[in-house]
Chain A
Amino acid sequence: MGERLSRSGIAVRDYYESKPGSDAVEPPGQYPYTRGRRATVPEAAGWIQRELSGEADPERSNAQIKYLISNHQLGIDVIGDAATMGMLDPDHPLAAGAVGTQGVSLCCKDDYLTLFRELPLAELSISSSVPSLFALTGLYIAARAMGVAPAHLRGSVLQAPLYAEDCGYAMHMPVELRVRISADVMQFCAGEMPKFHSFVEDTYFFCESGLNAVEEMALGFVEIRYLARELLRRGVPIDGFAPRIALLVDCSMDFFEEIAKVRAARRLFARMMREDFGAQDPRSWSVVISAHTSGLALTAQQPSNNIVRGTLQAMAMVLGGVQALEISAFDEAYRTPSRASHLVALRTQQIIELESGAGRVVDPLGGSHYVEALTDELEGRITAMIRDVEARGSALELAGQGWFRKFFRNAMERYHQQLSRDELRMVGVNVHRVPAEEDTLLREAVEGKLSPCVERVDRIRAFKAERDGARVRDALRAVLAAAQRPEDNLVPPVIAATEADCTMGEIAGTLRQAYHWPYDPHGFLPALVEG
């Protein structure tokens, strides 16, 4: 028999023993936090149980959030539709077929107020996968309108300035602007929203290109390191922002490697903050980790098997010790999650919490010879890859040259080859297939899908026609002027512009304009103010 390899290519032995001369790993709650951020089990559920939600218009997405909360979801995570994720308005000519089908359509002040209507913003953790500048703006405006001080808000926004353009939803902005937006959001929150995680390093979305655990974490750390240096360059002390950094990791099907990845990531983060950046505050060392189970691992064939996949992955993340968790719903290989699949995912988390006892102690696998060996091995490999990437040049330049894009493309290709050559086994895809006519279980759930929300396009058109055009243009001019001054923070003028009824698409276009990029990346719309 040949070598047995983990997903990231670590050759494993038949069994593991304690390393000669090695001491036990430090207890949880102590540097370098391999075993966990804290040494005590929390009284409530040990992690925020949430599902990614958002569909159709803000009205329906608000109802969807209330439905999930009524089923004891413990936090919110909202994703936008394709237009929103790419910072285009629903009335953009390319958006019509996709309005509200893959997430919620958001573009103006009223949308944010509707999305969060009647939700206990001060008590819930509010996370968003919508582009960070607008996610923050929307939450900030809604909180103020609802009488909640932004300083009390908990939750997070995702940042992936180096990679956002390369996989998933392109924003069509230069990397310099993307980095600035991330840093501006972080700096704004450091002052105004001290409880909010203004920088969630989202390794999930690019990992879904088919990256392995080592590549995922190495590229994640490269980005964190780049942004940390940028904030330091701006004069923000490391302990002023490091505690507000969190990770959102992908969870693939390699059970023990994923557990080890979470543990290795905590240790790597602690060492990086203390040794490389000189952080003194222990809160800067112990990173919050959230996880999302892999959508790439889901199969269109025999969709009921996806429930099992989600359960195993979620179990790995609970054993690894994450602070928040989302399970990709079983019908996601075909559609945006249905009510039924959302509930199954949420119930899976609740069963793990309340019935399995997996979260009864902190780091239940700590001291397992195998898990500790994998943790050490991953730490070493991730460190080596971070060094290798950083030795190639500045991450900003690498992004500009398309180095990361090429990396993601190659990973995609490798993944598909692994599948087609049966090096990676997927039940129902390349092994244990069943004829299509026998593959009927849960079939009706995956056939249903959301139609584009066409009436919303008309509503936004009407809104744009009725608002005070002069006020909109003034506010956009202020955004343009701020964007042209590198020392300005973009968040306050963007909040002001949104208050003045400017839309996400208009503000994003104006920002592109300031950086001499086309206002409308697709060439349909003219700019609203002169650059």
Chain B
Amino acid sequence: MSKVRILIGILGLDQHEVGAIAVARMLRDAGMEVIYAGCFQTPEKLTRSTIQEDVDVLGISCHSWEYLHYLPELMTRLKAEGADAAVVVGGSVLTAGDAHALQELGVAATFGPGSTPPEMIATIRELGARRASRLAETLA
């Protein structure tokens, strides 16, 4: 089985990197290939990197509320560019209401403050495997 590739970034002026770095390390330790894009991302930049890096999953870390502002644009751009990576959003400020709104936008999974590492790893692995099998079907 090939390694799951995930790109992790933080949108706008949100500079709380603690969570993003901790999650990046956790996923790497779980055997994934993690590309850490860091802070000050825009939907445009993340869309470009998602395609260039050919990742299975795009992970958005959030500790402010800017994801609510940027996610609609990000989802539209990814779709328009034909990027098929699954989008996951995680962060300590994510409430149940936010999770619902994000799923409506087409976000594949959300991780709030109560999410555990095994749960996050399993979900991201599953999303990565789904993309791999879609790709295999297309090529078959």
Contacts and interface: CB of A to CB of B under 8 A. Distances in A.
Contact of A334 (B68, B95, B114): B95
B22 A335 contact: no
Contacts of A300: 92-93, 112-114
Nearest to A419: B22
Interface residues of A, number: 35
Contacts of A413: 21-22, 25
A150 B18 CA distance: 40
B14 interface: yes
Nearest to A88: B13
A170 interface: yes
Contact of B15 (A169, A412, A447, A449): A169
Nearest to A300: B113
Interface string A366-390: 0000000000000000000000000
Interface in A411-463: 412-413, 416, 420, 433, 436, 446-447, 449-450, 452
B95 A94 contact: no
A301 B11 contact: no
A98 B95 contact: no
Given A300-B113, A412-B21, A436-B114, A97 B11 contact: yes
A40 B61 CA distance: 50
B42 interface: yes
A445 to B, nearest CB: 11
A416 B95 contact: no
B22 A447 contact: no
A428 B112 CA distance: 14
Interface residues of B, number: 26
Contacts of B13: 82-83, 86, 88, 94-95, 97-98
A284 interface: no
A187 B70 CA distance: 43
Contact of A98 (B18, B66, B93): B66
Contacts of B66: 97-98, 101, 452
Given A413-B25, A452-B69, 16 more contacts: A82-B13, A93-B42, A94-B12, A97-B66, A98-B14, A98-B65, A101-B65, A209-B18, A299-B113, A300-B92, A300-B93, A334-B95, A420-B117, A446-B95, A447-B95, A447-B96
Interface of A: 82-83, 86, 88, 93-98, 101-102, 168-170, 209, 299-301, 333-335, 409, 412-413, 416, 420, 433, 436, 446-447, 449-450, 452, 522
19 contacts: A93-B42, A94-B40, A97-B11, A97-B13, A97-B65, A98-B12, A98-B13, A101-B64, A101-B65, A101-B66, A170-B15, A299-B113, A300-B113, A334-B93, A335-B65, A436-B114, A447-B96, A449-B65, A452-B66
